[in-house]
A and B are shown apart, each in its own frame.
Chain A
Amino acid sequence: MDVNSLKNLSQDPQKEERVKRQFIVVGLGNEHYGIDIRYIDNIVRMQRITRVPKMPNYLIGIINLRGEVLPVISLRLKMGLPADEYEKNTRIIILKTEFEGSLGVIVDEVKEVVTLESTQVDKVDDLKIEGKNFVTSVGKRDNGDLISILDLNTITLEENVVRE
């Protein structure tokens, strides 16, 4: 805890009670999505991806991240959007998941970091994409913008079944 946050605590004890969460806003086509910063290990530039045969189309392949081999999936393909076109803004977000180890996710661009309080985040149902709930909650920013918050479990856990 740094000095500032200590100050904040002493100045406004109420703030402590409200849970604040930070999200990284990523661009995917025309949409903006938020990813909880707690699950993000790293963000790296696009790099050469080695294809792994006999894998579902969204599983692009594997990359080398500081000597470790990590699988990379395409968020676009997973959500049924047109395939990625790798440009200079394309990034791979390295997620650390609880059960599956680290995993890279390709996004079009990384926009910014926003801080939302728990009161600003609402749970939503029935926002199914490709038959799955990729978005389980929506955040309202102070300027009125809405951010769909990605449910990482749906992205990482559910579809690790790979066809032979």
Chain B
Amino acid sequence: MDVSQYLDIFLDETKEHLQNLSDQIMRLENDSEDMDTINEIFRAAHSLKGMAGTMGYKRMQTLTHDMENVFSEVRSGKVKVQPEMIDVLFNCLDALDEYTQNIQNSADEGTNDNEALIARLNDLLKSGTADSVEDKKEEPKESTAEKSAPEKKKRSTKSDKKGSKAEEKSESAEAKWYDIHLDDSQIHVIEEAKKQGMHCYGINVVVQDTCLLKAARAFLVFKSVEEKGEIIVSNPSAQDVEDERFEKDFTLLVVSKESLEDVMKAAQNVSEIAAVTGEEIEIEKTKDYKPKETAPANTPAKPVAPATPQQQQTAKNTEKKNAGKPVVNRTVRVDIEKLDVLMNLVSELIIAKNSLVSATGQVQSGSGNGVTEHIEYLERVTTSLHESVMKVRMVPIESVVNKFPRMIRDLSKKLDKKMELYMSGEETELDRTVVDEIGDPLMHLLRNSADHGLESAEVRAQRGKNPVGSIFLDAYQDGNNVVIEVRDDGNGIDTEAVKNKAIERGVITSEQAALMTDKEIISLLFLPSFSTAKQVTDVSGRGVGLDVVKSKIESLSGEVEVKSQLGVGSTWTIRLPLTLAIIQTLMVAVGGEKYAISLGSIQSLESIPQEDVRFVQNKEVINLRGNVVPLIRMEKVLDVESKRKPGEELTAVIVKKGDKMAGLVIDELLGQLEIVIKPLGKYIKQCKFISGATILGDGEVALILDANALI
């Protein structure tokens, strides 16, 4: 058995624990007395240590061990939580994160010992504790090991006190090594060994309830016991144990020259082992008692562990854990490739459906009714199949945004501004691929708000604002889109400053600037290498932020918008499509060719009499309910001859991109269609306003127009 097979689980769980730790430490910072939080931190750190130890990541284990010591002292009330400690703990988390990254990249934790951090942790301990007498409390794992081995008798006296029930339990557990079925050869081996002066021990090992990698623990127990002697038989079998097919304990029969204590110690030295019990076995006893003892011992259902005090404690811990923590997300990890295959199948199904639809058009003249029914059914099936497949791909944005509170906290310290992050809608779901990409742009926007947006506490006080600045991150679903808003109650965007900067940089001339609206000026911010920060900080101000945000969002077929009021604050709105592969479109004809336009960008459809077309700066525009909307003649864009008759009313599809609108003049509307987006392939590049192709019901290929690129 090799631990590398657990690497994936290890990484996932480590990340979960780290996130949990970060959340809890944040909470601790605000409420340093909350025992539940401290316990939770302690547990997370302890599990982390155990996991790192199992996987053989010594440095990680050492660091978490020292962190755990600190938490332990905090828990017992010997050390008070101070701001300095929180900082150190966060630094530790960063260091652990680094280890995790290294492990993820190279399966090795790296060579950074983080001695400075460990030293600081120990300083915290020293300065905080008056006396460090009760060292053993620091680490329940080791205390378990030390206590339960030599004090086996003591333990049983303890359980005697617990009453007859506990006694029964421990008895049935202790009898376990007599329950194991031995075949003749095994009995023979034991007898031979005894003749040679070796001992045969029955050992029962109970794994902690909280243990995450039971099989790995068991494996380590097997390994260390085998160093002391030979395992004759185990119950459940070694294979079952390896496959984690056991409750929480397993029993071994060991032949060894060493003393019972040594053998048990070997097992106890493995971490996350709750208890080890054992005694020397009389082989006759197994044989004699087998027929009687197996039956009653096996009937009380599953093997019952001895009720040791440690166990009760862990049981209590689990109870608390269940009560204090929200229900853990049950996730199914699916290979993205498998999903893609599923997705393709659905695509084909939709194509099949579309071809049936077009077939009915031809049959309609005759007896088409039966076909229509089938199609309606097929349509229902494909729609729900599509939905469910899409849902599989959807993940909550939580995984991305939950690292932001920590980031804002750090920024707050670094920038010496007081601020608070309020988040809502973390459960909003988006396509996996989008969620993976959305983190960086959001981070940029938040940093931007913290650095440029929020004023310093003094300025805020002068302006009569709450000295603590607020940043809001709200996510919600809006039709086929997901909207993520980053809002702050800071200074807002100073358009004059932007204007001056733009002129200074030579982006625009002062004449141009005079003519520009505030909106246009704000849009200058999205240009590459444009930063208005008076000084460059390491938080922001390098001028690479906003244009990266914009291009990233646009690559996800989304859009960014800013609304800002000087002195009041700004709102950045990111709008993203729920999914990228299947979309609802309007089919239109231009010069005899069919094109699809995504419904998401369409505002309305208009019939425009020729005489309503006006000219502004030699360009065709229409007055649409008070808005001046430029017209784009699609036949010119697409290089085709329009089939429109001269003098005929124009049909225009009004499309919208942010606040901008345009009317695409087309020949004919063909209707709405759900289409599967197919890439054009690498060979066809650089056609800006074609975002892909799709296959229509009759097998014909139609191009998808990207209305955003046309405006």
A interface, CB within 8 angstroms of B? 47-48, 50-55, 59, 61-64, 67-71, 99-103, 156, 160, 162, 164
Contacts and interface: CB of A to CB of B under 8 A. Distances in A.
Given A62-B693, A69-B693, A69-B695, A55 B701 contact: no
Interface stretch (B283-291, B298-306, B526-534, B673-681): B673-681
Contact of B701 (A64, A100, A101, A160): A64
Contacts, number: 76
Given A53-B639, A69-B678, A64 B684 contact: no
A51 B637 CA distance: 13
B153 interface: no
A71 B681 contact: yes
Contacts of A50: 593, 693, 700-703
Given A50-B702, A51-B593, A53-B638, A67 B695 contact: yes
B328 interface: no
Given A64-B699, A69-B693, 10 more contacts: A48-B699, A50-B703, A51-B593, A52-B703, A53-B637, A53-B639, A68-B678, A103-B681, A156-B683, A162-B685
A103 B683 contact: yes
Nearest to B694: A69
B348 A54 contact: no
A70 B347 contact: no
Contacts of A102: 681
B690 interface: yes
27 contacts: A48-B700, A50-B700, A50-B703, A52-B680, A52-B690, A53-B640, A53-B687, A53-B690, A54-B687, A62-B680, A62-B701, A62-B703, A67-B347, A67-B695, A68-B678, A69-B679, A69-B680, A69-B681, A69-B693, A69-B701, A71-B684, A100-B681, A101-B683, A156-B683, A160-B683, A162-B684, A162-B687
Contacts of A162: 684-687
A136 to B, nearest CB: 21
B429 to A, nearest CB: 28
A62 to B, nearest CB: 5
Contacts of B680: 52, 62, 69, 71
A63 B678 CA distance: 12
A64 B639 contact: no
Q: Which 10 A-B pairs rank lowest in CB-CB distance, beginning with the nearest?
A: A50-B701, A69-B678, A71-B683, A53-B638, A69-B693, A101-B681, A64-B695, A64-B701, A100-B683, A100-B682
A164 B700 contact: no
B136 to A, nearest CB: 66
Nearest to B676: A67
Contacts of A53: 637-640, 687, 690
A75 to B, nearest CB: 15
A63 B683 CA distance: 13
Nearest to A163: B686
Contacts of B348: 67
- Describe B's contact surface by its main secondary structure: loop
B51 interface: no
B622 interface: no
B351 interface: yes
A70 B679 CA distance: 9
A74 to B, nearest CB: 14
Given A51-B593, A69-B695, A71-B680, A160 B685 contact: yes
A55 B687 contact: yes
Contacts of A55: 684, 687
Interface string B685-709: 1111010010100011111000000
B482 to A, nearest CB: 28
Contacts of B687: 52-55, 162
Contacts of A164: 686, 688
A64 B637 contact: no
A99 B688 CA distance: 22
A59 B685 CA distance: 12
Nearest to A102: B681
A41 B640 CA distance: 33
Contacts of B679: 69
Of the candidates B593, B680, B684, the one having the most CB atoms from chain A within 10 angstroms of its own CB is B684
A164 B689 CA distance: 11
A54 B636 CA distance: 11
A47 B699 CA distance: 10
Interface in B28-84: none
A147 B702 CA distance: 38
A54 B638 CA distance: 7
A33 B113 CA distance: 67
A136 B351 CA distance: 42
B700 A64 contact: yes
A99 B699 CA distance: 26
A104 to B, nearest CB: 10
A48 B702 CA distance: 11
